[in-house]
Amino acid sequence: MINTIGYYLALVFTIFSVLFLFTWLTIYQSLTWLLFLGLILYISVCLANIVWPKIEAIPKELIEPKNKAVLITGCDTGFGNKLAQRLAHYGFYVFAGCLQPEGPGANQLRKSCRNAVKIIKLDVTSEDDVKAAIKVVEEQLKGRQLWAIVNNAGILISTEVEMGDMTSFNRQMEINCLGTIRVTKGFVPLIRQSGSIGGRVINVGSIAGRHCIPGMVAYSVSKAAVISFSEGLRRELKKWSIDVITIEPHLFKTNLTNDEVQKKCLEEAWKVTPESVKSDYGEAYLQGYQKFLNAVLDSARPQVDSVVDTMVIAVTHAFVSPSYRVMGHLERIRVAAYDYLPIRLLDLISHHLISCTSLTRPLLLLTKSSKTTIQLATKSSGGIEAS
């Protein structure tokens, strides 16, 4: 660990030295450079955190996988399935939680990983499934240490808040947030009892949990709760030397961002939307929102392996960050702007982006309503009627 921290500090010092030299040469003999010292140090640490995992030439202290096991939820497809294969080939014994233990994803894991993976039926919304999974893990550890829990299971349902009933919120909170909490509460005692000093709980959050996305409010709420839960849990488990890490991806092309799946969810939500709301919004708005949603989903990055690589780092590296944001360079600039721009300005930008689609009906209704209010107010005060 000492060597790893040394390499990291050397990287920070190198970046700091380059930035400091540049600043000194450009504003030499000016007191202003003193004000830049703190800023330079901050930028150096941020750049080091970005560069650190990407430079393979820098030696990293790794966790010895021998006699260590990892539990992963949501291994039917996507990130979970790929991560289970990677960790099994790395040398960990993997307990792969699958919603369909006889499905194609589970069978693929059995075939590719053979004796290094144990498939477990695990619906994270079911107390009975979690209790049964705990029993299986206890029986199958056989002297191994449960090193890490990876809470990967999650869903996405894209609708606006007024569309549909409470199903979207309930379902996403139950799987994305409460499912994470349920699995964590069940398996953390096994990490402690199996003697895994420095064990890990790795929760998959989302950039949407930091910056709420219009049309995905329910999803953003559930992921914000996961991030908050992770921060509190990390501080509580510090006394047991158990670390808690969040993986926060931008949009990536998985089953969650499938256009047809999200279109079906939107249609089902619209069917149960109150008639008064349907009347106010209109079919034109629904079609425009569908176009907006398609544009957002089409922007999802295909480089799924970059998320899996980050998850592997969170499990296998001895020196890890409490959170990892996984996104492209362009998205990183945009998210950085979201971090520092005024909230009202972000509201305006978001409104403009959505209004680029066919959202005319609600805006016309709002304008008409505002004019009527002004007219009534003017009449009641005896003034000249506004036109």
Whole-angstrom distance, CA of residue 11 vs CA of residue 53 = 12
Q: 55 vs 51, 81, 152, CA distance in Å?
A: 6, 26, 26
The dihedrals phi and psi of 39, each to the nearest 5 degrees, come to: -65, -40
Residue 202 β-bridge partners: 150, 245
Radius of gyration from C-alpha coordinates of the chain: 25
> Which residues fall within 8 angstroms of residue 92, CB to CB, at 6 or more apart?
65, 68, 69, 70, 116, 147, 315
Count of CB atoms situated within 10 Å of the CB of 210:
18
8 is catalytic: no
Question: For the stretch 223-251, what's the b/e string if a residue is b when 16 or more beta carbons lie within 10 angstroms of its beta carbon?
Answer: bbbbbebbeebbeebeeeebbbbbbbbbb
CA 71 – CA 180 distance, rounded (Å): 12
DSSP per residue, 186-237: HHHHHHHHTT-TT-EEEEE--GGGTSPPTT-HHHHHHHHHHHHHHHHHHHHG
Residue 55, classed as helix, strand or coil, is coil
Residue tagged active-site, from 219, 285, 289, 324:
219
Neighbouring residues of 357: CB distance < 8 A, sequence distance ≥ 6: 288, 289, 291, 292, 295
Write out the two tokens for 240. Answer: 């047991």
Instruction: Assess contact for 365 and 229: CB atoms under 8 A.
Output: no
Q: Are 116 and 344 in contact (CB under 8 A)?
A: no
Q: How far apart are CA 236 and CA 244, in angstroms?
A: 10
Residue 79's φ and ψ, nearest 5 degrees, are -55, -45
CB 106 within 8 A of CB 132: no
The CA distance from 82 to 304, in Å, is 9
Catalytic residue ranges:
219
